[in-house]
Amino acid sequence: MISAADRKKLFKSKARAESSQERPPLPTPAPSAEHAQARKKRKEVSSSAEGASLSGARSPPSRSVDCGNPTFVKDLASTLLLELGSVAMRAPELVERFEWYVAEKAKGEEELRRVQEHVAGLEGKLAAEERVWAAEQARAAAEEEARRLDGEAEHVIEAFQTSPAFEEAALSRMDDLLKIWAQTPAGQRLLFKEGQANYSLGLQQAQEVLLERIQKGKELPKPCENPEEFDSSIYYYSEDEDANGGGEDTAGN
């Protein structure tokens, strides 16, 4: 692998090579043996000083960049190809990881939406239960209030019925109430039934009285064509009155 420093040198050497190709090259003097020896010593000294200054840090060994060397260029090209191949080999893995991240994100969003819907449903259910509870409380309060009012009304009615004011009011309105009640279907049925019963009872009483008077040889009452002049007292007597002759006196009147 080529270090970052080598890449910078390579780019700088490429730029210098392009600029040198644009202008004609200058004649280079042939180095002498002494000059080469001094240059070698300076290079060794600078490299040793650089190594001493960077003794605590690890750095990859730098190589000299020589774009004119076909071997170096070939090595550089193979290195770049290897790096590109490594990146290309990692590309499917990165794509697969990206797709996994996208799928996980979609799954998380779906789970979040489901949880939000569940929470909304629970909130709606809770609100409905609260409304039902409030309605039950209101109904129970209304029933309790109705029972209390009914108890108070019954107490008031009982107190009024046992008071003298109720008796006075009832007696003062009895005739009107009876007339109004007699006009109702229930009143008419009861009056008809009671009338039949009273008629039957009166007829039986009259038959018994007449039979007893006939057996005892007493006179029968005279016929009466005017109902207003009819005296019915003859039909209401006791055995004591009959023994004392009260019935006969009544019949005579």
- For 156-186, write each residue's pLDDT tens digit: 888 887 888 888 887 888 888 888 888 889 8
pLDDT for residue 119 is more than 80 = yes
Mean pLDDT of the region 79-87: 78
More confident residue, 217 or 126: 126
pLDDT for residue 251 is more than 50 = no
Residue 113 pLDDT class (50, 70, 90 cuts): very high
Q: Please give the model's pTM, rounded to 2 decimal places.
A: 0.28
Q: What is the pLDDT of residues 226-250, one digit of tens each?
A: 878 777 777 665 454 455 554 444 4
Burial profile 31-41: b = 16 or more Cβ within 10 angstroms, e = fewer: eeeeeeeeeee
pLDDT for residue 198 is more than 60 = yes
**Cα gap 246→206, rounded to integer Å:** 17
| % of the chain with per-residue pLDDT over 90 | 15
Q: Which two tokens stand for residue 103?
A: 């799928």
More confident residue, 251 or 228: 228
Mean pLDDT of the region 7-11: 52
Mean pLDDT of the region 53-75: 57
Mean pLDDT of the chain: 72
Q: Which two tokens stand for residue 139?
A: 């109904």
- Residues 249 and 219 sit within 8 Å (Cβ to Cβ): no
- Residues 39 and 98 sit within 8 Å (Cβ to Cβ): no
| % of the chain with per-residue pLDDT over 70 | 65
**Cα gap 115→123, rounded to integer Å:** 12
Whole-number pLDDT of residue 133? 92
Whole-number pLDDT of residue 6? 60
Whole-number pLDDT of residue 135? 92
Residue 35 pLDDT class (50, 70, 90 cuts): very low
Q: Hunting for tokens 């076909």 — which residue is that?
A: 70
